[in-house]
Amino acid sequence: MPGPLEGVKVLEIANWVAGPSACAILSELGADVIKVEPPETGDAMRSVTTSRRGLVPYTGGINPIIEQDNRGKRSIAVDLSRPEGQEVVHRLAVQSDVLVTNLIPRRRERYRLRYEDLAPENPRLVYVVLTGYGPEGPDRDRAGFDYAAFWARSGIMAILGEPDAPPVQQRPGMGDHTTSLAIVAAVATALYEREKSGLGQQIECALFHTGLWVLSMDVVAALRERANIERVSRREVTNPLFNYYRTADGKWIQLVMPVSDPYWPGVCRALGLAELIDDPRFNTHTRRMENCRQLIRIFEERFATRPRAEWGRRLDAEGCIWAPIQTLDEVIEDPQAHANGYFATLRHASGEEFQVVAAPIRFRRTPGQIRGPAPEVGQDTELILLELGYDWDQIEQLKADRVII
């Protein structure tokens, strides 16, 4: 099935998660993505040790991290420290529509892969630079994984959790995958603009900036007040209808009714608390705010008397807005996710089938599809070089010189 980016050539000179994740989405939308990897190690993410109490757990065999963010690409293994390797990648860049990189500035300069190195030969190139903290300022060269630049530095980490608890840690890739959507949007917008101007351009995306955008409602409030925003305990939330509660089976349920007055009678009926509908302590939003702690205690005691599924049915019957706080074993069986095709099944070269999360962008007329599993390091090196115009003698010489594998 053709995707909306069919015919677009993307060169990925990036490792870890955010850049590769963006390019995985571009591939699913139809682009031909060539991933440049170091011959000896491949993408640094291939070497990350996982464990059940560390990063993403898996029991060996297929690496789910690599598959999620690198499915559908082609891989060329080239030693960029060698002039011959630089020439290979330079030729690839000159023939590409899009280049995505997270190389630090001095490496881009050393490898002749800066925008100003490539634009004279390919003025239509859309060139995306991903950094941790942005291209300017004192931390422009600082390494910035999403745990650092997106989660900790942006303020997200400090604002989550109960007031008396330590900061809450993120899970792997949360900031990277959020930033990947910004990269995809930037690429699509630049390609659209190129149709009018005929020219590409350099684009900057940063994990820190994405973190600020994600937290922007709180950030703009802090900018105006010039003050920190404190954590709020779930037992002191001013709107008890916008809070979460534990049910009799040990599961949790999230109520989401920020404008509470229209839902108040229905919530009371669903919880078997009809006597509270006209209770003067709680019968308006303002009074519920004033007496929030008391109402939250009442809700906690009531939710603890029945299992979550039963509360869900009762809340649905009253038109209330809620969601189950699902664990991952529940998420992967969620019928809503499966009905919409949010998981895709791929077949590994070993013959094993496995599932990944599909790109969160759906096109009806040109849907695109995942082209296959992630490539092995250098899996497509020879074919890509032949497409570039190298002959077999040149390829064998590059192999003999250990520029490629």
Q: Which residues of the chain have pLDDT under 50?
A: none
CATH of region 244-325: 3.30.1540.10
Contact 227, 211 (CB under 8 A): no
- Contact criterion met (CB below 8 Å) for 203 and 186: yes
289 three-state secondary structure: helix
**Strand pairing class (32-37; 353-357):** unpaired
Q: Are strands 32-37 and 74-77 parallel, antiparallel or unpaired?
A: parallel
Question: Which run of H or of E encompasses 316?
Answer: helix 308-317
| Cα(96)–Cα(387) distance, integer angstroms | 12
SS3 325: strand
Instruction: Give the integer Cα–Cα distance in Å for 150 and 180.
Output: 12
CATH number of 9-215+334-400: 3.40.50.10540
Q: Which two tokens stand for residue 318?
A: 């009253």
DSSP state of 4: T
Query: Rounded to an integer, what distance in angstroms lies between the CA atom of residue 298 and that of residue 294?
Result: 6
List of residues 6+ apart from 85 with CB closer than 8 A: 78, 79, 403, 404
Q: Which amino acid is at 39?
A: P
The sheet with strand 201-206 has its strands ordered as 74-77, 32-37, 9-13, 98-101, 126-131, 201-206
Give yes or no for a contact between 245 and 255, defined as CB atoms under 8 angstroms apart. Answer: yes
Res 61: pLDDT: 76
Contact 32, 74 (CB under 8 A): yes
pTM reported for the whole predicted model: 0.94
The span from the CA of 63 to the CA of 75, in Å, is 16
Q: What backbone phi and psi angles, to 5 degrees, belong to 37?
A: -130, 150
Q: Is 5 helix (H, G, I), strand (E, B) or coil?
A: coil
For residue 61, give every residue at least 6 positions away whose Cβ sits within 8 Å of its Cβ, in sequence order, or none.
Answer: 350, 352
DSSP 3-state of 15: coil
**Partners of 357 in beta bridges:** 343
Spacing of C-alpha 193 from chain mean position: 25
- According to DSSP, residue 14 is labeled -
State the Cα–Cα distance between residues 77 and 195, nearest whole angstrom.
Answer: 32
Ranges in the chain annotated CATH 3.30.1540.10: 244-325
Residues 46 and 377: beta-carbon distance below 8 Å: yes
The pairing of beta strand 126-131 with beta strand 201-206: parallel
Q: What token pair was written down for 17?
A: 């998660």
Query: Which regions of the chain carry the CATH code 3.40.50.10540?
Result: 9-215+334-400
pLDDT mean across residues, the chain: 95
